[in-house]
């Protein structure tokens, strides 16, 4: 027996590829550009967004029939702000260094278009279970791009993955560095994320021409 019905499974599968929040809907770009210089930060950001979006979708979905539509944006903001503060405090308590790297961008999850977009477009009109799956699906789609971008930027820019040197020591000149290889400083700066995301979009659309917009 399948764990999820086909319809429910699509809620998770679609945002991973053909309806990806970053590469197709082009939402949540700011954080994708800002914090992906390190893989660790990307993963933590992805998990944080998953927590906020998954839970937020459930909460909004449960309240969807009692929220007056005139003030729904404010209610949504309160829900997302509460969840973001929880994430922020947890990070500060248990991963202080990391929370400093992420700095303001954890707080800015509140303004992440993906979250308000899913609240508006999905949670207000669907039950809690389906909203939960939708939230997980979209945050996974967001997270997977963050991790891919973070992987390439950290590997090429710093020669490390999760802070562990994988290409040798750039100062002692061991491993790949002994051949004259050097880290690519361009990958550290935010414009590189724009280009990496652009290349992902390019690769994805040339694999599936149906995604290319008519203009």
Partner 1 sequence: MHEIKLKYQGKKMAPAFNAFHTFLFTPNETTHGGTHVKAADDLKRTMNTVIMALIPVLLFSMFNAGYQHYAAIDAANGTPRTLSFFENFLTWDNLRIGIIKVLPLVVVSYGVGLIVEFIFAVIKGHEVEEGYLVTGMLVPLIVPVDTPLWMLAVAVVFGVVIGKEVFGGTGMNILNPALTIRAFLFFAYPTWMSGDKVWVHGAVERAGGSDAISGETILGSLAQNADVSYSVSDMFFGFIPGSVGETSTLLILIGGLFLIFSKIASWRIMLSAVIGSLVMGLIFNQVVELGWITETSKFYGLMSFEFWKHLIVGGLAFGIVYMATDPVTGSRTNRGKWIYGFLIGFISVMIRVFNPAYP
- Chain residues binding partner 1 by CB under 8 A are 180-182, 184-187, 189, 195, 198, 202
Minimum CB separation of residue 182 from partner 1 in Å reads 6
Minimum CB separation of residue 199 from partner 1 in Å reads 8
- Cβ closer to partner 1: 125 or 185? 185
- Cβ closer to partner 1: 121 or 189? 189
Minimum CB separation of residue 160 from partner 1 in Å reads 17
Minimum CB separation of residue 204 from partner 1 in Å reads 14
- Cβ closer to partner 1: 127 or 185? 185
- Cβ closer to partner 1: 97 or 182? 182
Minimum CB separation of residue 185 from partner 1 in Å reads 5
Residue-by-residue DSSP string for the chain: --SS-HHHHHHHHGGGTTT-TTTTS--SHHHHHHSTTSHHHHHHHHHHHHHHHHHHHHHHHHHTTTS-GGGHHHHHHHHHHHHHHHHHHHHHHH-HHHHHHHTHHHHGGGG-HHHHHHHHHTGGGS-HHHHHHHHHHHHHHHHHHHHHHHHHHHHHHHSEETTEESS--TTTT-GGGGGT----GGGGSHHHHHHHHHHHHHHHHHH-GGGSPP-
- Cβ closer to partner 1: 78 or 199? 199
């Amino acid at each position: 027996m399948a764990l999820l019905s086909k319809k429910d499974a699509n809620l998770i599968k679609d945002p991973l590829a053909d309806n990806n929040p970053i590469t197709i809907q082009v939402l949540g770009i700011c954080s994708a550009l800002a914090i992906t210089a390190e893989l660790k930060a990307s993963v933590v950001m992805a998990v944080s967004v998953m927590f906020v979006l998954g839970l937020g979708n459930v909460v909004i979905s449960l309240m969807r029939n009692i929220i007056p539509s005139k003030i729904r944006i404010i209610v949504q903001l309160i829900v997302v702000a509460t969840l973001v503060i929880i994430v922020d405090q947890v990070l500060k308590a248990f991963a202080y260094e990391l929370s400093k790297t992420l700095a303001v961008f954890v707080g800015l999850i509140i303004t992440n278009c993906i979250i308000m977009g899913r609240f508006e477009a999905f949670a207000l009109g669907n039950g809690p279970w389906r909203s939960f799956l939708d939230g997980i699906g979209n945050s996974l789609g967001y997270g997977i791009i963050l991790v891919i971008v973070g992987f390439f930027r950290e590997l090429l820019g710093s020669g490390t993955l999760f802070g562990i040197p994988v290409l040798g020591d750039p100062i002692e000149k061991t491993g790949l560095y002994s051949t004259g290889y050097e880290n690519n400083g361009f990958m550290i700066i935010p414009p590189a994320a724009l280009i990496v995301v652009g290349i992902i979009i390019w690769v994805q659309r040339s694999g599936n021409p149906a995604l290319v917009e008519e203009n």
